[in-house]
């Protein structure tokens, strides 16, 4: 992991792997800003915001491969992906747009399981506002709340990956 103010707020994960099957090697390099210090927040909320920066980059290594298994369905559900990302040029197709929606929502599931209700409400609201207002993922609040609802009501043995088909169906109906 590389922490640097030189990223200018741009966080990035890059996987490097060899093609040699006998000595297969894979490494993920993550670039993020230095820790946020928000003096007006308590230490739990500061920690949650900093955790989110790292978590959402690492989580692409999990969310993206699962999403690839549903590529055709995601593309169909998000045919008009610009209504999901308001034409954000950094995410010029349905898959890249979906990766961001799911990755950031999965962090909020982690926050639900990890933090007390006050900290969860703060980080959830902060994430929704950031995604909608700053990053222009204009349907994020609806998406995030739907995924949280499914997660809170899932069968104990279900994983987050098991919720992907339900989320894709929900997206088709938006």
1: confidence class by pLDDT, cuts 50, 70, 90: low
- φ and ψ at residue 38, rounded to 5 degrees: -10, 95
Distance CA 20, CA 115 (A): 42
Query: Domain segments of the chain: what residues?
Result: 1-34, 36-172
Q: What whole-number distance in Å separates Cα of residue 28 and Cα of residue 32?
A: 13
Mean pLDDT of 26-47: 77
CA dihedral 110, 112, 116, 120 (to 10 degrees): 100
The backbone torsions φ and ψ at residue 26, rounded to the nearest 5 degrees and listed phi first, read -140, 135
Helix, strand and coil in the chain, % to nearest 5:
60, 10, 30
What is the tens place of the pLDDT at every residue in 131-163? 999 999 999 999 999 999 999 999 999 999 999
What's the whole-number mean pLDDT along residues 45-51? 87
Which tens digit of pLDDT belongs to each residue from 72-126? 999 999 999 999 999 888 899 999 999 999 999 999 999 999 999 999 999 999 9
């Amino acid at each position: 992991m590389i922490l640097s103010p030189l990223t200018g707020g741009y966080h990035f994960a890059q996987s490097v792997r060899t093609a040699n099957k006998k000595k297969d090697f894979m490494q993920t390099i993550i670039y993020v800003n230095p820790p946020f210090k928000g003096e007006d927040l308590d230490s739990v909320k500061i920690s949650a915001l900093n955790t989110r920066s790292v978590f959402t980059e690492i989580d692409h290594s999990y969310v993206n491969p699962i999403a690839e298994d549903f590529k055709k369905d995601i593309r169909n559900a998000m045919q008009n992906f610009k209504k999901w990302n308001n034409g954000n040029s950094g995410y010029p197709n349905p898959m890249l747009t979906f990766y961001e929606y799911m990755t950031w929502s999965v962090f909020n599931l982690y926050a639900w399981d990890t933090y007390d209700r006050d900290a969860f409400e703060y980080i959830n609201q902060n994430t929704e506002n950031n995604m909608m207002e700053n990053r222009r993922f204009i349907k994020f609040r609806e998406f995030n709340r739907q995924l949280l609802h499914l997660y809170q009501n899932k069968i104990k043995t279900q994983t987050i990956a098991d919720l992907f088909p339900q989320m894709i169906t929900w997206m088709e109906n938006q």
